[in-house]
């Protein structure tokens, strides 16, 4: 089954529409009408993998709900929705630990994109490797899995680096112990240290009880540091010490905790270049790069494309509820001929669209709507006019335009741009990387 999402929205029509959209996307979606109900749900039900909440609701707001969640779960992804376009509220939410925000009205595709970006990924134990190039990479990974050495996974975004990390863990002696993953780019910079190392009660404002960090949670198992190149240099130094000494101290604590954890790190950057440009510590690079593995782009392993597409279809709850679907010969040819700039993540999104567009149990070539052709000019049924109009405004595009304008104004100087926009250099680097992936032209200096 897919990852679980809790929707918190006081408008019944929008709440039902969001829930239906998430379910079509392959997620298990639950919904409540208030922040108070959300807290009751979190206290009595199994904790979801993500919370999506409206900003303005009744007596308790989405910001209040976020604060309450952060007191107990510092790592639970939370996305806030606002209909008022108040930038100050959005900034406050990000400072308090929200992953991101959505301004109503928004597109259904934007909701799906944000959920896929921030939700912890779950993978099946059966890895699909039909292409000989893929088989060679996974055979190498299987050999090094039996060691306790650290691993550095590189490759483009969406190429399946977390799938590879889980494969290594599952084939190691640590497979019965925890596999803990953290996206270093998705956690706000001021919370990343506490998330990794944990904290004692009273360590900082809002720390109402002690909380174990990711290193502790991964004891005797594997810790995945996803997108480690987005980590601040000062925090890199602290990570290096933990890896070298094999011990950690919680924030606000005095007790040293001995660690038995294998580290797997991922990056979509050239870390050697990052080292030479003084953006990544050389000593940490060599600590992590004991066994380097480059995960292949989807275009480099064409024989995997059709089996992956069929597997995505077969595991989609919306498809299984309709009795299953298969790919036509023409659809398979179209998939193999495409260049896949977004790799497996793009394939996943494409097959979700195809599952909805296909009229029968066979996905035809015309059902495969690649970007930007996927913008179908029909009335969006995600929400009706009475709930939140049509979800059409693209907040992300507006945000990227602000970044582009600031880059032009400051002649490409990223430090000045970050200061002007009120974000950290790490956050700006992450946003620029996303812009490049989506085909935006980045002006000024590289």
The segment(s) of the chain belonging to CATH 1.10.10 are 395-437
Predicted TM-score (pTM) of the model is: 0.62
**Which pLDDT score is estimated for 393?**
34
Among 90, 18, 87, smallest CA distance to 55 is for: 90
The segment(s) of the chain belonging to CATH 3.40.50.2300 are 4-118
Fold that domain 132-294 belongs to in CATH: Rossmann fold (3.40.50)
Quick one: which H or E segment has residue 21?
A: helix 12-24
Per-block mean pLDDT, blocks of 10 residues, the chain (446 long) = 83 88 81 93 84 89 89 81 69 76 79 76 64 92 94 93 94 92 84 89 80 91 94 94 95 92 95 94 96 95 93 84 86 93 90 88 90 44 35 50 81 83 75 73 64
| Interatomic CA distance for residues 386 and 115, integer angstroms | 25
The segment(s) of the chain belonging to CATH 1.10.8.60 are 298-372
4-118 CATH:
3.40.50.2300
Q: Which two tokens stand for residue 338?
A: 């495409």
Q: Are 105 and 388 in contact (CB under 8 A)?
A: yes
| Interatomic CA distance for residues 121 and 266, integer angstroms | 14
Fold that domain 298-372 belongs to in CATH: Helicase, Ruva Protein; domain 3 (1.10.8)
User: Which residue is associated with the tokens 């006019």?
Assistant: 385
Among 206, 243, 115, 222, smallest CA distance to 168 is for: 222
Fold that domain 395-437 belongs to in CATH: Arc Repressor Mutant, subunit A (1.10.10)
- How far, rounded to the nearest angstrom, does the alpha carbon of residue 341 sit from its chain's CA centroid? 18
Among 32, 183, 23, smallest CA distance to 112 is for: 23
The segment(s) of the chain belonging to CATH 3.40.50.300 are 132-294
Give the start-end residues of each E strand in 268-319: 291-294
**Which pLDDT score is estimated for 269?**
92
**Which pLDDT score is estimated for 88?**
66
Is the sign of the CA dihedral 257, 198, 222, 224 positive or negative?
negative
Among 374, 309, 318, 379, smallest CA distance to 337 is for: 309
Quick one: which H or E segment has residue 344?
A: helix 343-357
Among 114, 77, 75, smallest CA distance to 98 is for: 77
Question: With b meaning 16 or more CB within 10 Å and e meaning fewer, what string describes 279-302?
Answer: bbbeebbebbeebebebbbbebbb
| Interatomic CA distance for residues 179 and 223, integer angstroms | 6
């Amino acid at each position: 089954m897919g990852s679980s999402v809790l929707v918190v929205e006081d408008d019944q029509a929008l709440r039902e529409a969001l829930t239906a959209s998430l379910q079509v996307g392959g997620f298990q979606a639950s919904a409540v009408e208030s922040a108070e109900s959300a807290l009751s749900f979190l206290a009595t039900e199994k904790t979801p993998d993500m919370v999506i909440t409206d900003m303005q609701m009744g007596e308790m707001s989405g910001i209040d709900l976020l604060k309450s969640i952060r007191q107990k779960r510092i790592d639970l992804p939370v996305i806030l929705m606002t209909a008022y376009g108040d930038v100050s509220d959005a900034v406050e939410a990000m400072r308090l630990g929200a992953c991101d925000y959505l301004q109503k009205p928004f597109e259904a595709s934007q909701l799906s994109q944000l959920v896929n970006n921030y939700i912890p990924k779950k993978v099946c134990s059966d890895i699909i490797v039909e292409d000989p190039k893929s088989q060679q990479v996974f055979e190498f990974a299987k050999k090094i899995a039996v060691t306790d050495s650290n691993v550095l996974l590189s490759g483009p975004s969406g190429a399946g680096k977390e799938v590879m990390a889980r494969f290594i863990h599952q084939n190691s002696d640590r497979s019965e112990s925890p596999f803990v993953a953290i996206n270093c780019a998705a956690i706000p910079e001021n919370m990343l240290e506490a998330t990794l190392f944990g904290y004692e009660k009273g360590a900082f404002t809002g720390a109402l009880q002690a909380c174990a960090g990711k290193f502790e949670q991964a004891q005797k198992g594997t810790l995945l540091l996803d997108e480690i190149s987005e980590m601040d240099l000062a925090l890199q130094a602290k990570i290096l010490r933990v890896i070298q000494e094999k011990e950690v101290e919680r924030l606000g604590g005095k007790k040293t905790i001995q660690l038995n954890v294998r580290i797997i790190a991922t990056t979509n950057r050239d870390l050697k270049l990052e080292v030479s440009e003084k953006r990544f510590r050389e000593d940490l690079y060599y600590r992590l790069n004991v066994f380097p593995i480059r995960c292949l782009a989807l275009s480099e392993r064409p024989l995997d494309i059709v089996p992956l597409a069929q597997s995505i279809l077969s595991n989609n709850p919306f498809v299984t509820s309709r009795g299953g679907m298969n790919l036509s010969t023409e659809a398979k040819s179209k998939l193999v001929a495409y260049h896949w700039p977004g790799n497996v993540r793009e394939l996943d999104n494409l097959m979700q669209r195809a599952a909805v567009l296909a009229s029968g149990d066979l996905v035809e070539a015309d059902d495969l709507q690649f970007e930007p052709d996927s913008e179908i000019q029909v009335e969006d049924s995600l929400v009706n006019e009475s709930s939140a109009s049509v979800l059409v405004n693209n907040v992300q595009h507006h945000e990227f335009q602000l970044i582009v304008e600031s880059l032009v104004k400051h002649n490409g100087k990223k430090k000045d741009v970050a200061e002007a926009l009120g974000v950290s250099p790490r956050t700006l680097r992450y946003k620029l990387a996303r812009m490049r992936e989506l085909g935006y032209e980045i002006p000024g200096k590289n």
